[in-house]
Amino acid sequence: MLEVIRYNLLIALEAIVQNRLRAFLTSLGIIFGVASVIAMLAIGKGAEQQILEQMKLLGTNNIIVQPVVEQEEGNVADDEQQKPQNKRFSPGLTLSDLNDIREILPSIYKATPEIIGDVLFVRDGIKKTGKLIGVSEDYFDISATELESGQIFADANEHQSMPVAVIGKSVKTKFFAGTDPIGKQIKCGPLWFTVIGVLKERGGGNSTMRHLGIRDFDMDIYIPATTFLLRFKNRSLLTERDIKKANSGNNNDDEETDKKSTNYHQIDRMILHVKESAYIKPTADVASRLLQRKHNEVVDYEVIIPELLLQQEQRTKRIFNIVLSSIASISLLVGGIGIMNIMFASVVERYKEIGTRMAIGARKLDIKLQFLTEALVISLSGGIAGILFGISLSYIIESATEIKTLVSLVSIVISFGVSISVGLVFGIFPAIKAAEQEPADVLRYE
């Protein structure tokens, strides 16, 4: 049997060599089809990995509450006719809101505030603007952040309101190159903080993640939220400047615009971690109603469920990849049809060869194997070239664009299997036609 396969393979290779250009043009459909499938699957795999990275950075089963500009609605004519009325007062998002939500809702396992400030980091003559983040101890568990060295600050009295900080990996690289930062100090704005911990690299700074509120975590410095409020700025406190502004009696439009743009929220956002996924939406609804009552019916916040946004994005990308893969599969279909047409033409051209082989004792099975082997060689060579082209195309796409690609072994195996199937399916019909010819008829064929 091996001798038969070897003999048919030599005949197929001889026929392909004699018609090199035709064989190459025939295999182009397979090459581009396989390459397209690999590239599309690589894009889909890369998109899936990005979604998983985003989920890891945001933390699973989280609810995010963050401030928004107060929403207004109504008719302009009514505002012009009516006398100005005192607006409802809202204290904004506060630590009190977070504590009340956590106390009332048993479905919330962990919760943390986030207070974000842009400050200048300085050490040993090096300076860089970065974000100083006030959080609680739960933040590091919620965001699945791992320590590289040191410890995180605790909510206990040991670290409350103390000038201690946990720094990101990039902060260590820039300000503490070649030295252990634990126990050393770094200046954040006007204050010096003692480094007690260093986080492992997390990433998250690319543009595809920023719409979900994900920043470059590795350049952040984390301090206790209470430290931030006591030592930097507590926006919920009434200051002398606020009193002077209120007593000025200036009711012009500029002041009204300034009031709207003033951030009066004590915290920039809160993250609520729910243990069970089934409780995410009910918990978000109850938290929203609780905040509505506490904020005196003023809608100056929004409740976001990142997991649902990411799932929706994942579904969209999955549909997009299915459509692209389907289009790529059409190329394989066209390539298979091309192989079948060329093989049919090859059968007609080689009638005398078929008749001669059958006259000297070749069986119908031998003729079938001859033409089927030729179709398989064309499809397999096109498949191998397509795999190499598809891998190269994936890397070109990733280099030229921000689209992440990931070539997997599964996609290569699938593409190779498809190329074999195309050769078998579209090569068997011409092979059958060749084997069904009568020797006397084909020998007389002109």
Residues 274 and 404 in one domain: no
Residues 153 and 272 in one domain: yes
* Percent of the chain predicted with pLDDT > 70: 75
Residues 302 and 189 in one domain: yes
* pLDDT over 50 (residue 294): yes
Residues 13 and 97 in one domain: no
Over the stretch 115-165, which tens digit does the pLDDT of each residue have? 998 999 999 889 999 999 999 888 888 887 888 999 888 755 555 678 899
Residues 212 and 323 in one domain: no
Domain finish residue from 275, 306, 337: 306
Residues 33 and 120 in one domain: no
pLDDT category at 443 given cuts 50, 70, 90 is low
Average the pLDDT over 363-385 and give the result. 81
Specify the higher pLDDT residue, 286 or 378.
Answer: 286
Q: Which residue range forms the structural domain that includes residue 152? A: 59-306
Cβ burial 311-347 (10 Å sphere, 16+ → b, else e):
eebbeebeeebeebbeebeebbeebbebbbebbeebb
Average the pLDDT over 91-109 and give the result. 89
Domain finish residue from 255, 277, 306: 306
Residues 264 and 365 in one domain: no
Task: Classify burial at 253, counting beta carbons within 10 Å of its beta carbon; exposed 0-12, middle 13-18, buried 19 or more.
Answer: exposed
pLDDT category at 58 given cuts 50, 70, 90 is low
Over the stretch 403-434, which tens digit does the pLDDT of each residue have? 778 888 877 887 778 777 877 777 777 777 77
Specify the higher pLDDT residue, 208 or 314.
Answer: 314
The CB density around residue 141, as the number of other CB atoms within 10 Å, is 15
Over the stretch 231-251, which tens digit does the pLDDT of each residue have? 887 777 755 565 555 556 544
Dihedral of CA 316/322/325/326: which sign?
A: negative
* Model pLDDT, residue 257: 43
Tell me how many degrees the CA angle 184-190-191 measures, rounded to the nearest 5: 35
Residues 211 and 84 in one domain: yes
Q: Are 149 and 182 in contact (CB under 8 A)?
A: yes
pLDDT category at 358 given cuts 50, 70, 90 is confident
* pLDDT over 50 (residue 176): yes
Query: How many domains in the chain?
Result: 2
Cα distance from N-terminal residue to C-terminal residue, the chain? 34
Residues 293 and 338 in one domain: no
What's the pTM? 0.58
Residues 32 and 158 in one domain: no
Residues 263 and 352 in one domain: no
Residues 38 and 102 in one domain: no
Domain finish residue from 273, 306, 339: 306
pLDDT category at 379 given cuts 50, 70, 90 is confident
